[in-house]
Structure 1
């Protein structure tokens, strides 16, 4: 039996919406024949592309054999055949559209941050609960090969007692004058929902919570290293949002996580994101796809001596964690989980309340930076 699921996909003309959610997730699922359920049934997504740019929508629909597209969100929400609303718009537009979708009785799946403030994010979670609609938030990094390997190590007890985590994220985003910027200009304007903290702390919250332990406190310093940039039209503008954040998080169990995030750093590491985990029994360093380990029995015994050449090649003393499975696109994996949750009621813990936790940490991170102090992270409920 085939379960056809109508999905209103709003905001798919943006880079993330086009590449990760449309092409590598929904189109890929359609091309593979849908999502198979344990009982032999199949879930087949039937998207309608929604946005403000008619030309882009038409081009995407034609390129990927999608029959339906529209510039009228209200009309789409009125169609009872489309039971899911997906949102990949810029953050400042997201909450209002999700509220409309909940009011129309749609199940919700959306990008994060879910809103620009904790109050709005919690309101979305509460409205969805009261309406009885299923809901989920994209938490893609949990399904990256490197982090899945880390999870495998944690579950096996490889680390012993985890002591600390060090995360390095970022790369040099060109200012837009002599080379075109790799990120849209709204990312660097606070009034448009931009900023490193608001963008990335939502990710760090679910990564830390799901892999290592709940975040209990934060100490953060956010700054704007590049004060002026050039936008897509060649016009110089003032950067009103932070482009870097340097944070320390205290996790349950006394684990300490140090996280540096910057769009003004040149990369001298294995990947754009690296996560080092140190434990009593072993350590690991994970990137987006790869993961290396060093067990206590393989740990070298260096002695500090600046008067001689370093006798160790430290990078060669780590072993690769094998794949041992086929890793699919992280966004596609979570889409399939959500569709199974929708049709077969399989578990899906990454709901709008989990999304609100990301916004909570962003707000507290900015508060910590402004007040130059540690701030506790209270439990969230609705």
Structure 2
């Protein structure tokens, strides 16, 4: 870890300078040598970095959603060019270019944070070794070494020896208890962040391998951070726990205000929006009007949740407009399905028995009467007329029957002796 941190030593000076500036502010309030002053300085560093990374976070959301939408097409390309890996890669790149999707965009916030993370690790390691680094001089170094967070020094680690912890003015038990609690909280926040993404902000109507990958990461990432956490100083654990909590809150806000179409979060959001329209008779807020505007623009391509929302507006006698507002309309119910032509109601197909029964009653009435009024002949005696073929469409009972498929109507030719 120290070797990796040294690769980012070029950013050590800016990171140490930012921490010192925040330390001056909090030191005037809580005291320069307290854990609150140094701990809040690290938290403020995280907040500053995450605010600067908000544009990348927006890109991450768009990229993640585009990847979810493209999964069926990507799977079709993989199956079509299963034996040609080069053509498969070319088609994938073509698909990304046409849709403006970058697979690496989902990792941009983590990649952008990495230099600051390792630079902070390098600074805290220098403090633990009593070495000057960046703008931290000897007086600031002594102050940082005296700072404790719930009895654990900023530069102490879970795996440190008792002698090293004693040199920092703390007990090994306090350090391990504090670091263990912070590691558990760090892993739990990572798990909850990924879980709320999978359970609330994913289109459940599309089953793709991407969802399975995200589900695996939901369990793998917390384990990775738990294993790595035992080698992190307390100050780095504060940094990572803060950034996880920030990510969780930021994602919760996005899920509530701009959910993925077709997800459970969208159903809850449109339910709240419908209640608001019911209470006020209008769409309040620019964000909500933009949501209605997108639903109107989709037309017949709306998903089931969006159709349900438009139908709910129609029951109130309201019709959504292209500008995101709603107006009273008598034809709202007819337009509730997004302007799509209503399907024609096809008559139910009768069974074969019902069709034959109906045909027999229609065409067999006269035949039944004639058969009853015809004179009865003596039994076991056949006349030449009886041997003549009966007219097509009439049976002995007088009911007409259709010829079987593949047979000629009327009298059948006798089979040749060789074909019997």
Q: TM-score, normalised by structure 1?
A: 0.22
Give the structure with higher Rg (CA). 2
